Amino acid sequence: MNDKIITGNRIILRPITADDTAMVLKWRNSDRTVRNFYYRKPVTAEDHAKWLSDKVDKGEVWQYVVILKENGAPIGSVYLQHIDPATLTGETGVFFSEDAPAGQGLATEAVKLLGEEAGFKMLGLLHLTAKVISTNTASMKLHEKAGYRISKEVKGETCTDGEIVDSTFFIKDAPVYRSDRKPLVKAKTGKIHKLEEGSLEVSVPGSKSITNRALLIAMLAEGESVLKGVLFSDDTESFLSCMESLGIETVIDRKAETVKVKGCAGIIPNTKACLNVGSAGTAARFLTAVLGLTDGGEYRLDSSDQMKKRPMAPLLDSLKELGCEVVYEGEEGFFPFTLKPHGFSGNEVTVDIEKSSQFLSALLIAGPMSKSGLNIRLSGTHGLRYVEITRNIMNSFGAETEKLSDGKSCAEDAGTGQCTGEVSYHVNNGIYKASRYHIEPDASAAAYFYAMSQIMNIPVTIKGLDESSMQGDIRFPGILMETLRSEEPVTVDMGSLSDQALTLAASVTGRKAPTTITGISHIRHQECDRIEAIVTNLTKAGIKVTEKDDDVTIEPGIPGPADIDSFGDHRVAMAFSLLGLLQPGISILDPACCSKTFPDYFAYLDEIRELTKCQQQ
């Protein structure tokens, strides 16, 4: 608990007292504060005391009074509303002391120090947040000047007095995660349990790949679907925002990890819309296919700068083959662009999957909207395990697909997931039917904890995930174990579970012989050039790496201290955080990029370090 005074260069943190509580209530209940802040009505001492007993006394939330110093002397108190040890996030406060100097500039400086000195350095938090009524322009400017960015905007929020307002949420992220950090606040996610025999049981978020496929299919279905185990991350939030812009009704319960979707039966309510898919490849490819094959309308699609670099041409070329007009605003084959669909002009199409199997999954999902079904021919080669996930989910919502080889029903090779001969797919026409669908835990997220298990020699199980999973990455633990046990040079084809090529690369540096990872040429075209990320970061850490075509060979060695470049890629940040378990002095730059799929990853990592430090000593 926060039971001691902490002194920094320009800030003092101390536990909250009864006098502080009285001061806070007086400040919160002033006319100006009630008018400008989202709680909108006075708070009684009894209400506040109950909140303290329910949250603070139980350790779910920590509270500090933060005192600002100038020239070494205290000049006023700032109330840091709370710290959430589950996510290592603090909500920043504002001046409440009557004798504190007024002035917007000083308030901005205080909020800056809350992040840079108190929050990130002294407390060891990973994020700071703020929530502001959108009409409170002074507070919005304050947080923008202090280096916060807008994380989301909520329209039509009901306040405690019944008034409807719009709210803006701000966030500031720690710029670096250090492997040898010793934060004052100990992470307590509630997702990691130490079992009696010393093993760990970890609950990971739901699968991003399954979540976004299920959201889109539920959107196209007839009736109301209930999705459970939903992942809430940057990618899925982008998807949900796009669904809202298209007029799709949803009921979201983030705490229960549930989304109810009122399906449109294949007819998009809004025939004109401007969408931003962010950095979500699934949203980018899947929504483009569905909107490009609707019966009329006009849809402008934009993305993050990162997604603008990722290929879209193979899918857009397929849509044009089926009759969709595509108007580019910049370079052809990349975001942004406008779709002018005219339905299906035929029931045959070819798609090049060399750079991504998502192009095929996108057309499969859109296929049932065709009045005569859809036949999809393939060019190029790619692992098809994610395509099988797509077909599995489609089947759960009543859609029928068939995989063909040379025009005949295809019996797959169980070892490779591939068919011999020329492969194509057929999708029957029809309307998806609403479903109650449970989303599996994310096997890709689980892979990092399986790797930690091998590195720290501590048994780890992932709750709700086993070998029956439809996700290809469930094979990673076996591949990793087999690789690490061998004392001879090993070549591993990671083409069918390429997201884990980074994880394998970070995990094998301690082997006695070289490891070659092959089959991964397409990962150059993902969130970043992931082969470049492997070579750059292992070289920084003093590990010799040889790059050749679509292969990398990693020589044995002990990683040294290094600043790991995340390249804005969540998988790079999470994979190379494993080096910090092998050697101190590993720093992950831009750890917040993990919010794409696993917002709390580094809180999990901190908690695992704390739970296992005795076993490692």
One-character DSSP codes across 404-434: EETTEE----TTTS--SSSEEEEE-----B-
Are residues 261 and 127 part of one domain?
Answer: no
Rg (C-alpha) for the chain, rounded Å, is: 26
Q: Is the pLDDT of residue 203 over 60?
A: yes
Q: How many helices (H) and strands (E) does the chain have?
A: 19, 31
Are residues 575 and 521 part of one domain?
Answer: yes
Q: Is the pLDDT of residue 63 over 90?
A: no
Q: Is residue 454 part of a domain?
A: no
On the 0-12 / 13-18 / 19+ scale of CB atoms within 10 A, 566 is buried
Q: Is residue 468 part of a domain?
A: no
pLDDT at 60: 75
Going by pLDDT thresholds of 50, 70 and 90, the confidence category of residue 49 is confident
β-pairing, 149-158 vs 164-173, is: antiparallel
Judge whether 499 counts as a catalytic residue: yes
Residue recorded with tokens 């036949």: 375
pLDDT at 382: 80
Q: Which of 188-192, 241-245, 461-465, 521-525 has the lowest mean pLDDT?
A: 521-525
Q: Is residue 312 part of a domain?
A: yes
CB atoms within 10 A of CB 10: 18
Assess whether the previous peptide bond of 74 is cis (omega < 30° from 0): no
Q: Report the CATH number that the domain containing residue 68 is assigned in CATH.
A: 3.40.630.30
Q: Which of 283-287, 291-295, 608-612 has the lowest mean pLDDT?
A: 608-612
pLDDT at 421: 65
Q: DSSP letter at 222?
A: B
Among residues 499, 569, 600, 606, the one annotated as catalytic is 499
Q: Is the pLDDT of residue 104 over 60?
A: no
Considering 174, 189, 216, which residue would you say is the last residue of a domain? 174
Q: Is the pLDDT of residue 1 over 50?
A: no
Are residues 164 and 78 part of one domain?
Answer: yes
One-letter amino acid for residue 257 of the chain: E
Q: How large is the average pLDDT for residues 347-369?
A: 95
Are residues 55 and 122 part of one domain?
Answer: yes
Kindly list the distances between the CA atom of residue 240 and the CA atoms of 21, 237, 246, in Å, as whole numbers in the listed order.
39, 5, 10
Q: Which of 185-189, 247-251, 367-371, 485-489 has the lowest mean pLDDT?
A: 185-189
Residue recorded with tokens 């509630």: 190
- The whole domain housing 399 covers 208-438
Count structural domains, the chain. Answer: 3
Is residue 484 within 8 A of residue 454, CB to CB? The reply is yes
Q: Is the pLDDT of residue 18 over 80?
A: no
Q: Is residue 122 part of a domain?
A: yes
Considering 155, 174, 193, which residue would you say is the last residue of a domain? 174
Kindly list the distances between the CA atom of residue 37 and the CA atoms of 55, 103, 217, in Å, as whole numbers in the listed order.
21, 18, 39
Are residues 428 and 484 part of one domain?
Answer: no
Are residues 215 and 161 part of one domain?
Answer: no
The CA distance from 238 to 275, in Å, is 9
Going by pLDDT thresholds of 50, 70 and 90, the confidence category of residue 277 is very high
pLDDT at 416: 46
Q: Which residues of 187-199 are buried (b: 16+ CB within 10 A; e: fewer)?
A: bbbebbeeeeeee
The 490-493 sheet, strands edge to edge:
490-493, 515-518, 551-554, 545-548
The CA distance from 36 to 34, in Å, is 6
Q: Is residue 452 part of a domain?
A: no
Are residues 251 and 132 part of one domain?
Answer: no
Q: DSSP letter at 502?
A: H
Considering 438, 460, 490, which residue would you say is the last residue of a domain? 438
In sequence order, the 6+-apart residues with CB closer than 8 A to the CB of 44 are: none
One-letter amino acid for residue 170 of the chain: F
Going by pLDDT thresholds of 50, 70 and 90, the confidence category of residue 414 is very low
Q: How large is the average pLDDT for residues 567-581?
A: 95
| 236-266: pLDDT as tens digits | 999 999 999 999 999 999 989 999 999 999 9
Q: Is residue 420 part of a domain?
A: yes
pLDDT at 71: 79
The residue among 375, 540, 439, 545 whose CA lies nearest residue 205 is 439
Residue recorded with tokens 């999708």: 427
Are residues 213 and 131 part of one domain?
Answer: no
Q: Is the pLDDT of residue 327 over 90?
A: yes
Of residues 133 and 499, more confidently modeled: 499
pLDDT at 131: 85
Are residues 247 and 170 part of one domain?
Answer: no
The CA distance from 221 to 332, in Å, is 32
Assess whether the previous peptide bond of 477 is cis (omega < 30° from 0): no
pLDDT at 196: 78
The CA distance from 570 to 499, in Å, is 11
Are residues 255 and 321 part of one domain?
Answer: yes
Is residue 243 within 8 A of residue 215, CB to CB? The reply is yes
Q: Which of 53-67, 409-423, 441-455, 514-528 has the lowest mean pLDDT?
A: 409-423
The CA distance from 507 to 564, in Å, is 15
| 117-152: pLDDT as tens digits | 888 988 899 999 988 888 888 888 888 888 999 988
The CA distance from 267 to 476, in Å, is 40
CB atoms within 10 A of CB 455: 18
Are residues 371 and 254 part of one domain?
Answer: yes
The CA distance from 344 to 305, in Å, is 31
Going by pLDDT thresholds of 50, 70 and 90, the confidence category of residue 40 is low
pLDDT at 383: 80
- The residue ranges of DSSP E strands in 346-467, in sequence order, are 348-352, 374-379, 401-405, 408-409, 423-427, 436-438, 460-462
Of residues 21 and 38, more confidently modeled: 21
Q: How large is the average pLDDT for residues 448-473?
A: 94
pLDDT at 92: 75
Give me the percent of the chain exceeding a pLDDT of 90.
Answer: 62
pLDDT at 58: 73
Q: How large is the average pLDDT for residues 437-457?
A: 96
Mean pLDDT over each residue of the chain, to the nearest integer = 88
Q: How large is the average pLDDT for residues 533-558?
A: 94
Q: Is the pLDDT of residue 547 over 50?
A: yes
| 397-406: pLDDT as tens digits | 999 999 998 6
Residue recorded with tokens 């994979």: 575
One-letter amino acid for residue 198 of the chain: G
Are residues 336 and 286 part of one domain?
Answer: yes
pLDDT at 38: 56
pLDDT at 617: 45
Q: Report the CATH number that the domain containing residue 532 is assigned in CATH.
A: 3.65.10.10
Q: Which of 56-60, 82-86, 304-308 has the lowest mean pLDDT?
A: 56-60
Q: Is residue 240 part of a domain?
A: yes
pLDDT at 400: 94
Length of the chain, in residues: 617
Q: Is residue 393 part of a domain?
A: yes
Of residues 62 and 244, more confidently modeled: 244
Of residues 354 and 79, more confidently modeled: 354
Q: How large is the average pLDDT for residues 312-329?
A: 97
Dihedral sign computed on CA atoms, order 114, 119, 121, 123: positive
